Amino acid sequence: MTPIIPLSELRDRIDAIDQQILELVNRRAECAIEVARTKQAEGETGSFYRPDREAQVLRRIKELNPGPLGDDAAAHLFRELMSACLALEKPLEVAFLGPAGTFSQQATFKHFGHAVKDIPVPTIHEIFQSVETGHCQFGVVPVENSTEGVIAHTLDRFMDSPLQICGEVEIRVHQNLLGKMDNLVGISEVFSHQQSLAQCRQWLTANLPGVPCTAVSSNAEAARLASLDHSKAAIAGLTAAELYDLNVIEKHIEDEANNTTRFIVIGRVQPVSTGLDKTSILVSTGNQPGALHRILQPFAQYGISMTHIESRPSRQGLWEYVFFIDIEGHRADADVAAALNSLENNVKMLKVLGSYPKAVI
Ligand SMILES: O=C(O)C(=O)C[C@]1(C(=O)O)C=C[C@@H](O)C=C1
pLDDT value for 321: 82
> What average pLDDT does the structure give for the chain?
94
Distance CA(18)–CA(141), nearest Å, equals 37
Does any ligand 1 atom lie closer than 6 A to the CB of residue 81? no
Question: Are residues 3 and 10 in contact, defined by beta-carbon separation less than 8 angstroms?
Answer: no
Distance CA(14)–CA(260), nearest Å, equals 37
Q: Which CATH superfamily is domain 46-172+258-271 in?
A: Periplasmic binding protein-like II (3.40.190.10)
Q: Which of 259, 280, 242, 245 is nearest to 175 (CA)?
A: 259
Distance CA(227)–CA(179), nearest Å, equals 7
pLDDT value for 218: 87
Q: Which of 221, 229, 231, 168 is nearest to 359 (CA)?
A: 168
Does any ligand 1 atom lie closer than 6 A to the CB of residue 156? no
Count of beta carbons in the 10 Å neighbourhood of residue 255: 16
118: enclosing H helix or E strand: strand 117-121
Q: Which of 198, 192, 196 is nearest to 215 (CA)?
A: 192
Q: How far is the CA of 261 from the centre of ligand 1 (A)?
A: 27
Question: Are residues 354 and 166 in contact, defined by beta-carbon separation less than 8 angstroms?
Answer: yes
Q: What is the mean pLDDT of residues 203-218?
A: 96
Count of beta carbons in the 10 Å neighbourhood of residue 313: 13
- Ligand 1 atom closest to 51 (CA): 14
Burial zone of 41 (CB within 10 Å; 0-12 exposed, 13-18 middle, 19+ buried)? exposed
pLDDT band with cut points at 50, 70 and 90 for residue 315 = confident
Question: Are residues 356 and 166 in contact, defined by beta-carbon separation less than 8 angstroms?
Answer: yes
**E-assigned strands of 225-340?**
232-236, 247-250, 260-267, 277-284, 306-313, 321-328
pLDDT value for 236: 95
pLDDT band with cut points at 50, 70 and 90 for residue 318 = low
pLDDT value for 357: 98
Do the two domains 46-172+258-271 and 176-250 of this chain adopt the same fold? yes
Which residue blocks in 113-257 are alpha helix, DSSP H?
Answer: 124-132, 152-158, 194-199, 201-207, 219-228, 238-243
Does any ligand 1 atom lie closer than 6 A to the CB of residue 55? no
Does any ligand 1 atom lie closer than 6 A to the CB of residue 36? no
Q: How far is the CA of 85 from the centre of ligand 1 (A)?
A: 7
Instruction: Express each pLDDT in 153-165 by its tens digit.
Output: 899 999 889 999 9
pLDDT value for 174: 95
* Residue percentage of the chain with pLDDT more than 90: 84
Instruction: Express each pLDDT in 84-133 by its tens digit.
Output: 999 999 889 999 998 888 899 999 999 999 999 999 999 999 999 999 99
Q: Which CATH superfamily is domain 176-250 in?
A: Periplasmic binding protein-like II (3.40.190.10)
| Lowest-confidence segment of 82-86, 94-98, 320-324, 349-353 by average pLDDT | 320-324
Instruction: Express each pLDDT in 225-282 by its tens digit.
Output: 999 999 999 999 999 999 999 999 999 999 998 999 999 999 999 999 999 999 999 9
Q: How large is the ipTM?
A: 0.99
170: enclosing H helix or E strand: strand 164-172
Distance CA(291)–CA(293), nearest Å, equals 5
Q: Which residues pair with 179 in a beta bridge?
A: 233, 247
Does any ligand 1 atom lie closer than 6 A to the CB of residue 54? yes
- CA 24, distance to chain mean position in Å, is 30
The model's pTM is 0.93
- Per-domain residue ranges for the chain? 46-172+258-271, 176-250, 277-355
Distance CA(279)–CA(335), nearest Å, equals 12
pLDDT value for 282: 95
Q: What is the mean pLDDT of residues 323-341?
A: 97
pLDDT score of 8 more than 90:
yes
Q: How far is the CA of 83 from the centre of ligand 1 (A)?
A: 8
Q: What is the bridge-based pairing of β-strands 189-193 and 213-216?
A: parallel
CATH fold for the domain made of 277-355: Alpha-Beta Plaits (3.30.70)
Question: What's the DSSP call for residue 207?
Answer: H
Distance CA(325)–CA(294), nearest Å, equals 14
CB half-sphere exposure, 337, CA atoms < 13 A: 4
Does any ligand 1 atom lie closer than 6 A to the CB of residue 92? no
* Residue percentage of the chain with pLDDT more than 70: 99
pLDDT value for 157: 94
pLDDT value for 289: 80
Instruction: Express each pLDDT in 166-176 by its tens digit.
Output: 999 999 999 99
Instruction: Express each pLDDT in 290-304 by its tens digit.
Output: 888 999 999 999 999
pLDDT band with cut points at 50, 70 and 90 for residue 319 = low
